[in-house]
Every structure is written in structure tokens, then in C-alpha cells.
Amino acid sequence: MPSPHLSHLIKYLSLVAFLLFSIMGSAQNCTCPNDSIPPVINCPADISIDSPNDIPDPVSITVMDNCDGNSTLEPNDPSEFFEVPYGLLDEPGYCPDSIYRYYIAQDDCGNRDTCLQRVVILPQDECSLCQSDVDYMPVDLTDGVSDTLLAVERGGLCCDYNLPNRCTVFDIQVPPNAIGLKIEIGLGSPTDDSGDWSVECGEEAQWQGNVLCIPIETNLFSLIHCKPGAYAEHYVFSLLIVDLGPDTIEIQTDTILDAGAGWSTYLWSTGDTTQTIEVTSSGTYSVTVTGSCVGGEAYDDIFVDVVTGVTDISDTENISIYPNPNRGSFQISFDFPHDEMIRASVINVFGQTIYQSKPEMGSGRTIKEVDLGSVPPGIYLVRIDYGGVRYIGNVLVF
């Protein structure tokens, strides 16, 4: 296997660690006793293409499991798919020589299968924006985290620049909701006064203050920096992006959602057009903002779970657990009068959630089957969230 760029390797190792913890958690939800057979992935075949422009989008593929039946792996789910491009370092533009695409399937018992599809890009010369002695530095900002490159030296010439200029190229990858890129050089000298910048050897880069406007409708582009001298400099890249925080938050009182200062316009899913909104009820909230860059628009959403009170399950007739004690399998029965969001969770003595149902709207009598698998005997906390109220109780497993 070829060597990936360091930033991609770090992301790969982080995902491996995530998958290991996922296996440990999923084993607690096993519905088929003694199941040790991994799912079978319908793996797409390796392919060869002539140009980076011909790289196909990853596809959804089917998975067959002896216990859970058939399912589909989606490439937009990071727990089911990721890819690693190779050959980016010291190559112009986004010109990998191969891409390794990994599909991961895991059943409820923790059995896992991995499928590898190789996309090979045959030798081609469509990416020669610069002379061969110009460094091409990958900058991966797709996770929204800033990236720092130390002691970057400028080498030969790019585009139509002439000596005494020297150039370097940054292959920038950004998430879809980014509209601006802030770049600091050294100890923070002004970007627009630090030489010439261009995108893909096309028009001069467009700046709004010290923010580079990201080219519209692209998440991959080469940013070229040229100026006299070949001495090394430090570069810090950070995104102009809207971020409401974690995907889900839990609150007990009213809270304020803040889209951040500096945007030209704000439009919330509530209809508000202010920087902040006050949230008083559970639900999904989103905001769309625009910046000073022409056509620049960014979006983010968040689920807010409002818990206004806590009640013991033994003090209500709306919830029952049967049988209790049990051997890890039991029923939770709900009988609520109003159509509200319901979610059930089971938590062990270490505070780890070993079972959680999907949030769903419900009213009337509902029965949820819970199978904890081969968990150790002991007392487990049962938590029911309904309409802003949290109900808690215990279940004894022997």
C-alpha cells in the first residue's frame, strides 16, 4: 500500500479507534445469541481511470447478515465509509495516483466486515500548473479544524509568474458549508499584503479583508502563493464557517443558540433573522447565514433536547417495566396522552449507555422490546424522555 499524507493517516487512525469502541458498544445490543458470523458486503470492484476528473462518486452498497437481514451502506455515513487519497504530496492540484475506499459493516453483535475498493488513476499530465520544483501541500479542512503547516519553502514558478518570485501551492479541501478561508503567515502578517495569490492559475484570489472567498460550488481547489524570496514561512489555515456546536445538546432551562458574529444575514428555521435565538422547546433548529463573499452561504443545524423535570417511574402509571427482575430481556410499556418525542435508554453503573431507542413521536399505548444481550448481572438505570420530562427507574438483571 502506498503511503498517505500525514493528515489523512491521522484521520484513518482516529476512525479505527472509533470503530473499535463501536464494536464494544454494539455487542451489548446483540439480538441473536452466540452469533459470530460477520455480515457480507457486496463490495464494488476495483477500477482504473484516466484522469482525476473521472473519479466517480462513491456508491451505496448492500450488506447481507444472517441475523439482521439485508441493509445498505451509505457513503455519507462516516461510520460506514471513508476514503484515503494517495500521492497528493508534491503533486499539482488534486491529483492522487490512487484512492482507497473502505466500506465497513457491523451487526448488532459486534461482528464486522470491511471491504476495500481501489480507484487507480493512470499516469496523466493534466495537473502541471507549476514547475516540478514547486511543493504541493495538502490542506485538509473537511473536519472544520484549522490546519498549520510549518517551514513551507517556496520553490519554482507557477502560472505566468516570473523571477524573482518563488511559489508554493496548497491543495485545499473544505466542507460544503464553508464560504471563506482565513490565512495567517508567520506571526499573523496581513494575507492580502503578503505576495500574490491565485486560484488554479486563473483569476487573482478574491479577498474580503483578510478572508479569502472560496470559489463557488467547489470543495477542492489549488491556491497558489508567489512572492520574491524562497525562505520558509509558517501558514495557518482556518475556515469561515457557521457552527452551532455538537449535533445534539441537552438542556434543563431556556438556552441561546448563537450563529456567530460577522455574517451579513441570518435566517433561522424559526423565521428569526438575528445572530442568536432563544430555545424553549425540544426540536431541530437550523440557521443559514451569508457572508461578504459574493454567493457565500453557510448552514448548520442542531437538535436540542429540553428536560424540564425528573420523575421516578414508580410514581407514574404511564410507564411499566416487565419482567423485573429479568435476564437482560424485558418490555417497556408507555401510555402517554399526547403526541410527543419519546426515547428510551438503559445505562450501566459506569454511566455508559448500553441501549438507546431512536427518538420518535408517539402517544397512546406503546411497547418497546429491550434485549441487553449477555450483560453482567446487576442493577441498570432505565431512562425515558418524553415531552421534556425525564422518567427514571431501575431494572435488575440476574
Our count of domains for the chain comes to 4
The phi and psi torsions of 13 (rounded to 5 degrees) equal -65, -35
Average pLDDT of 217-233?
80
Identify whether 129 is part of a domain: no
Residues 300 and 384 in one domain: no
Residues 268 and 196 in one domain: no
Residues 314 and 381 in one domain: yes
Identify whether 271 is part of a domain: yes
Whether residue 108 contacts residue 68, with contact meaning beta carbons closer than 8 Å, is answered with yes
Is the per-residue pLDDT at 273 higher than 50? yes
Is the per-residue pLDDT at 145 higher than 80? no
* Domain encompassing residue 328: 310-397
Is the per-residue pLDDT at 117 higher than 70? yes
Average pLDDT of 337-347?
86
Q: What is the pLDDT of residue 333?
A: 92
Identify whether 189 is part of a domain: yes
Average predicted confidence (pLDDT) for the chain: 79
Identify whether 196 is part of a domain: yes
Listing DSSP states for 311-346 in one string gives EEGGG-SSEEEESSSBSSEEEEEEEEEEEEEEEEEE
Residues 223 and 291 in one domain: no
pTM score: 0.48
Q: What is the pLDDT of residue 136?
A: 83
Cα–Cα distances (Å) from 200 to 86, 220, 221, 224, 377, in that order, read 21, 10, 7, 7, 63
| DSSP state at residue 201 | T
Alpha helices in the chain (DSSP H): 6-26
Q: What grid cell was written down for 357?
A: 431507542
pLDDT tens digits along 289-318 = 887 665 567 788 888 878 778 889 988 888
Residues 265 and 235 in one domain: no
Identify whether 131 is part of a domain: no
Give the residue from 306, 324, 348 where a domain finishes: 306
Residues 107 and 152 in one domain: no
Give the residue from 240, 261, 290 where a domain finishes: 240
What CATH number does the domain containing 188 carry? 2.60.120
Residues 266 and 369 in one domain: no
Beta strands in 107-185 (DSSP E): 112-121, 136-140, 147-152, 165-173, 180-185
How far apart are the C-alpha atoms of 91 and 169, rounded to whole Å?
9
Residues 166 and 269 in one domain: no
Q: What grid cell was written down for 90?
A: 508534491
Identify whether 1 is part of a domain: no
Question: 19 by DSSP, 3-state: which?
Answer: helix
Is the per-residue pLDDT at 6 higher than 60? no
Residues 35 and 91 in one domain: yes
Residues 225 and 143 in one domain: yes
Residues 256 and 277 in one domain: yes
Average pLDDT of 247-275?
86
Residues 115 and 12 in one domain: yes
